[in-house]
Amino acid sequence: MVQYKWKGIFLAGMLLFGLTQSIQAQNVINGKKIYETRCLVCHQADGGGVPNMNAPLDGSTNVVGNDISRLVKIIKNGFKDKVELDGNYYSNDMTPNPDLTDAAIADVLSYIRTSWSNKSSIVTLAQVKNANKGNQKKNSK
Amino acid sequence: MKKIIYFLFLFLFCIGIFANAQDNAGLTLPAGFKANLFAENIGGARHIAITKNGIVFAKLNRANKQGQSIVRLEDANKDGVADKITGLANYGGTGIYLNGNSLYASSNEAIFKYELDNKDEVLNPLSPVTIVSGLINRRQHESKSITFDKANHIYVNIGAYSNACQEQDRTPGSKGKIPCPILDSAGGIWKFDGNKENQTYGDGMRYATGLRNVVGLDWNTQTNKLYVSQHGRDQLNTFFPSLYNDAQNAELPAETFYEINEGDNAGWPYIYYDPSQHKKIVSPEYGGDGQKEGASNFINPAVAFPAHMAPMAVLFYTGDQFPAKYKNGAFITFHGSWNRAPLPQEGFFVAFVPFKNGKATGEWEIFANGFAGTIDGAKVTSTNKAKARPCGLAQGPDGSIYVSDDTKGAIFKISYNK
- The amino acid sitting at A109 is L
Strands (E) across B75-224 are located at: 84-88, 96-99, 102-106, 111-115, 129-132, 146-148, 153-158, 188-193, 205-209, 214-220
Interface residue A117 vs chain B (CB under 8 A): no
> Would strands B225-230 and B311-316 be described as parallel, antiparallel, or unpaired?
unpaired
Q: Give the H or E element holding residue B57.
A: strand B56-60
d(CA B327, CA B330): 8
Interface residue A100 vs chain B (CB under 8 A): no
Q: Which residues on neighbouring strands pair with residue A88, listed in sequence order?
A: A85
Torsion of CA A119, A45, B334, B368, to 10 degrees: 90
Strands (E) across B144-224 are located at: 146-148, 153-158, 188-193, 205-209, 214-220
Interface residue B382 vs chain A (CB under 8 A): yes
Interface residue B170 vs chain A (CB under 8 A): yes
Cα angle B390-B393-B394, degrees, rounded to a multiple of 5: 155
Interface residue A5 vs chain B (CB under 8 A): no
d(CA A27, CA A5): 33
**Model confidence band, residue A140 (pLDDT cutoffs 50, 70, 90):** low
Q: Which residues on neighbouring strands pair with residue B34, listed in sequence order?
A: B415
Torsion angles phi and psi, residue B191, rounded to 5: -115, 130
Are residues B338 and A80, on separate chains, in Cβ contact within 8 Å? no
Spatial CA neighbour of B165 closest among B190, B141, B201, B135:
B141
For residue A119, give the DSSP letter. Answer: -
CB atoms within 10 A of CB B324: 7
**CB-count exposure of residue B8 (10 Å: 0-12, 13-18, 19+):** exposed
Whether pLDDT at A57 is above 70? yes
SS3 content of chain B, % helix, strand, coil (to 5): 15, 35, 50
**A88-134, pLDDT tens digit by residue?**
999 999 999 999 999 999 999 999 999 999 999 999 999 999 998 88
Are residues A41 and B383, on separate chains, in Cβ contact within 8 Å? no
Q: Give the H or E element holding residue B270.
A: none
How high is the pLDDT of residue B15? 44
Are residues B140 and A93, on separate chains, in Cβ contact within 8 Å? yes
Of chain B residues 55-84, which have a CB less than 8 A from chain A?
Answer: 61
**Torsion sign (Cα): B363, B368, B371, B374:** positive
d(CA B65, CA B92): 13
CB B403 within 8 A of CB B390: yes
In terms of DSSP H, where are the helices of chain A? Answer: 2-34, 40-43, 61-64, 68-77, 102-114, 125-140
d(CA A96, CA A118): 23
CB B237 within 8 A of CB B244: yes
Q: Tens digit of pLDDT per residue, chain B (418 long)?
A: 555 555 555 454 444 444 444 589 999 999 999 999 999 999 999 999 999 999 999 999 999 999 999 999 999 999 999 999 999 999 999 999 999 999 999 999 999 999 999 999 999 999 999 999 999 999 999 999 999 999 999 999 999 999 999 999 999 989 999 999 999 999 999 999 999 999 999 999 999 999 999 999 999 999 999 999 999 999 999 999 999 999 999 999 999 999 999 999 999 999 999 999 999 999 999 999 999 999 999 999 999 999 999 999 999 999 999 999 999 999 999 999 999 999 999 999 999 999 999 999 999 999 999 999 999 889 999 999 999 999 999 999 999 999 999 999 999 999 998 6
- The amino acid sitting at B216 is G
Comparing alpha-carbon positions, the chain A residue that sits nearest to B141 is: A91
Closest in A50, A56, A93 to B170, CB measured:
A93
Distance between start and end Cα atoms, chain A: 60
Q: Which residues on neighbouring strands pair with residue B153, listed in sequence order?
A: B193
CA distance B282 to chain A (A): 22
Q: Give the H or E element holding residue B247.
A: helix B246-251
Cα angle B192-B196-B198, degrees, rounded to a multiple of 5: 90
Are residues B140 and A48, on separate chains, in Cβ contact within 8 Å? no
pTM higher than 0.95: no
CB B117 within 8 A of CB B137: no
Q: Which residues of A touch B341 (CB under 8 A)?
A: 40-41, 44-45
Which candidate in A34, A57, A82, A91 is best for mutational testing of the B interface (most B CBs within 10 A)? Answer: A91
How high is the pLDDT of residue B16? 45
Closest in B238, B383, B406 to A95, CB measured:
B238
d(CA B365, CA B326): 12
d(CA B54, CA B82): 10
d(CA B115, CA B195): 12
d(CA B405, CA B392): 7
List, as one string, the DSSP characters of B331-366: EEEE---STTTTSPP---EEEEE-EETTEE-S--EE
